[in-house]
Amino acid sequence: MSGALPSGLRRAIELFSRLPGVGDKTAARFAMHLLSGDRALARALGEALLDLDAAVVTCERCGYFADASEGRATCAICADPRRDDRVLCVVARVQDLLGFERSGAMRGRYFVLHKLLSPLDGVSPADLPMQALVARVADGVEEVIVATPPTVDGEATALYLARELRPSGARVTRLASGVPHGGDLEFADQITLGRALEGRRAIE
Amino acid sequence: MSGALPSGLRRAIELFSRLPGVGDKTAARFAMHLLSGDRALARALGEALLDLDAAVVTCERCGYFADASEGRATCAICADPRRDDRVLCVVARVQDLLGFERSGAMRGRYFVLHKLLSPLDGVSPADLPMQALVARVADGVEEVIVATPPTVDGEATALYLARELRPSGARVTRLASGVPHGGDLEFADQITLGRALEGRRAIE
């Protein structure tokens, strides 16, 4: 069957299917939509993706994204003078940073690791940007909030970071773990309930 | 928050979210994946999409896709001499054509409407490629299998096509409707069960 597909179409489907969570069928649906319905979108998206690599650079200070089209090497968050320089929130992924930004609860700066320790995926301590993080913490940071996810890899990374940052003298904290807001205790798993008990706080 | 996103990134997310079934969060995940992990994929996909519009043209005979990079104006299926010219299968979308090709059960030719009659979406009979279809049927077709989907719009389109094609003298047939292979009768809806009864056949 696939022999009947024009080669340009086959290639677009193959590349679409390399996006996260996109299988062959979804990739084909994307390509068909562009060809049958919206060829202008194909051109616009093509240009935007070619532009993406050039226009968006990794912030040299925190690992988030900076707007190269405005000639910046540091991101809007690092450039914001109203942020608290004493608090540094370390996240695994840019998406996590954006989650904190949406919450509005984080007034400090960020540092994006872009990866977590993972023996299965072959990510060892040497693959983490430790030198940059240590230098960043030495620059007046008093508290490092390790906001890696509450998974095996996330916890291992948090423990490793805490140990490596001990000589810096900064306080290293971890996100609270417990039942989520609006969650149902009946359906919470045992580890989550155990942590929620462990981390219980006095009602003031 | 979105003010903190570089403009090139915002634009890529906005365009990704115009793909079928892709919301803002998925679009952001695609863009983040390209930026954080696979910038080569961003460039390759960008080039493939720019190429797609030029390399893939609509087959002038059936509405499927032809490979313009090979200088063709008709598709591989129309060009295949082993196909039965007397049977024409009319489908709504290219995806439906590919489904029939996967099944291997269709040995005739195809005609892709690219749309269905839909009062709600403002698609009227004048929007269907009737002139091209009538001319196609006049070219030696003995049976037209109307394989539009078993939905309200699909059924309305099938009835309309049958009426318009009556003067051609070709036999106009419709796909059988009934319980799907491997389906559970207990969970079949009443219309499907009714049609399965209506269309029952003698066991030979």
For the segment A33-52, what is each residue's pLDDT rounded down to a tens digit?
898 878 889 999 999 999 88
- Predicted confidence at residue A185, as pLDDT, reads 76
Q: Quote the tokens at residue A61.
A: 């200070």
Pick out chain B residues at pLDDT < 50. Answer: 1-2
Smallest CA-to-CA distance from B5 within B30, B26, B31 is with B31
Whether A143 shows a pLDDT value over 80: the answer reads yes
CATH class of A7-54: mainly alpha
- Predicted confidence at residue A204, as pLDDT, reads 67
What number does CATH give the domain A82-202?
3.40.1360.10
Picking from A5, A18, A102, the nearest residue to B1 by CB comes out as A102
Domains of chain B, residue spans: 7-54, 82-202
Picking from B16, B18, B43, the nearest residue to A53 by CB comes out as B43
Half-sphere exposure of B118 (CA within 13 A, CB side): 13
C-alpha distances in Å from residue A40, one per residue of A68, A175, B9, B68, B129? 26, 45, 19, 18, 22
Q: Do A93 and B26 touch (CB under 8 A)?
A: no
Average pLDDT, chain A: 87
Least confident window among A68-77, A166-175, B93-102, B166-175:
A68-77
Whether the Cβ atoms of residue A102 and residue B1 lie closer than 8 Å to each other: yes
| A170 against B72, higher pLDDT | A170
Chain A interface includes B20 (CB < 8 A)? yes
Chain B interface includes A195 (CB < 8 A)? no
Whether A187 shows a pLDDT value over 90: the answer reads no
- Predicted confidence at residue A2, as pLDDT, reads 44
Smallest CA-to-CA distance from A108 within A85, A90, A92, A140 is with A85
Mean pLDDT, residues A193-201: 79
Rounded to 5 degrees, φ, ψ at A76 are -65, -30
- Predicted confidence at residue A1, as pLDDT, reads 42
Could you count the other beta carbons within 10 Å of the beta carbon of residue A22? Answer: 21
ipTM: 0.73
Instruction: Give the DSSP H or E segment for A160.
Output: helix A152-165
